[in-house]
Amino acid sequence: MAFKKQRMVKQDKDLIEDLVKISKYFGQRFDLIQAAGGNSSIKINKRMFIKSSGYSLSEVELKNGYSVLRNDKLTNFLYKIKNYIVNSRIEKKSFHILKDSIIKGDNPSIETFSHSILKKFTIHLHPIASNIISVNRESKIFFNQIFSKEISDGIIFYIKYRTPGIALATEITNHLLPYDEKIKMNKSVVLFLENHGLICSSDDKKELIKSVERIMKKFENFLNIDLKRYKFTTKISKVLWEQNYKNLVSYYSEDLILNNFLKSKNLDKILKPLNPDGLLYCGESPLIVRGPLEKNILSYIKKFHTYPRVVITGKNIYFVAPNVLKAREIEDVFKSHLYFDHYGQTKRPLLKKHINKLDSYNPQKNRLRFWFDYDK
């Protein structure tokens, strides 16, 4: 019995690590998700691990940000009411079923029922490119033009707008049931949600990521829209993940004041921190990328024995942290640093001995709670 429990704990840890990885991969990308929208989930042995309501995708961690539920309770209820018109009574009942299905964790996402009938790994996103189409009056026409082959192959489906929650879940269930065998044969299934977003599901986590990127590329090509600056966050994070900084995401800054400062500055002259917050939030120096990204990041890690919090490449600036909210805190502090540099005639940066002292002074680091002193 003890061995079985130990194996279950190990299995759950692996699943949660996968959930964290998927959530952070998509959660750092403004082109795919904004604010605390979207959901991620993994299902196994009648259980579902799903992002909790109120958390952003990038905030999902090993110990928080997700709920564990009895998935069989959800699917049993969904199939039971699939032929009914969703009214207030059914909606109220669905909330009770959702609450009763919780094994542990915070309140699960309102979209949990929609995840319950899909494949093992599921991601629900609100991508910029697909939603430009989804909110258009002619969305169905454009959808058919872009994905004629994928529609024929039973890979992607157009789902009419329904209120998020049990109403949307029943619409998805009834729409997919006639194609059940074809969906099982395909590596992934994609749902284009009218006036809402995109759901992608696969039994393989790598295929899930590939499928989303592939589908989004088709939307972007159709619209002739360039979103590469947001996708570069993935490139930064992948290099850091390969160096075992697996809990980090990258955030692309579009702060106009900050970007205007950068255009007018000799970046080599703003490398040193000017105050404790500059060091604690932004690190000893920003990384100015000149040449291959991976080589630059590895050189930075070798020199400073930690990852870069600020990455500047060309005209773009990115901030690195365990989640997007923390990255925005770094953005605030770095912007204040640029104000100091711009309006101060003569600067007095922190000396190396002051930097070393702050690096060793735990009470100061505690201001940043768990995330500053990131361990591999």
Q: What is the pLDDT of residues 170-189, one digit of tens each?
A: 999 999 999 999 999 999 99
Strand pairing category for 287-288 and 310-313: parallel
Encoded amino acid at 260, one letter: N
Which of 10, 32, 40 shows the shortest CA–CA distance to 201?
40
Q: Distance between CA atoms of 17 and 61, rounded to whole angstroms?
A: 8
**Contacts with 147 (C-beta within 8 Å, 6 or more apart), sequence order:** 156, 192, 218
Residues found in the chain: 376
Q: What is the pLDDT of residues 65-122, one digit of tens each?
A: 999 999 999 999 999 999 999 999 999 999 999 999 999 987 898 899 999 999 999 9
Q: What is the pLDDT of residues 316-331, one digit of tens each?
A: 999 999 999 999 999 9
| Tokens matching residue 17 | 């690590």
In whole angstroms, how far apart are CA 76 and each of 18, 80, 203, 345? 26, 6, 21, 70
Q: What is the pLDDT of residues 201-248, one digit of tens each?
A: 999 999 999 999 999 999 999 999 999 999 999 999 999 999 999 889
- Could you tell me the domains of the chain? 2-226 (3.40.225.10), 232-368 (3.40.225.10)
Q: Distance between CA atoms of 267 and 316, rounded to whole angstroms?
A: 13
**Contacts with 199 (C-beta within 8 Å, 6 or more apart), sequence order:** 114, 118, 122, 123, 124, 125, 172, 190, 191, 193
Name residue 321's beta-bridge partners.
249
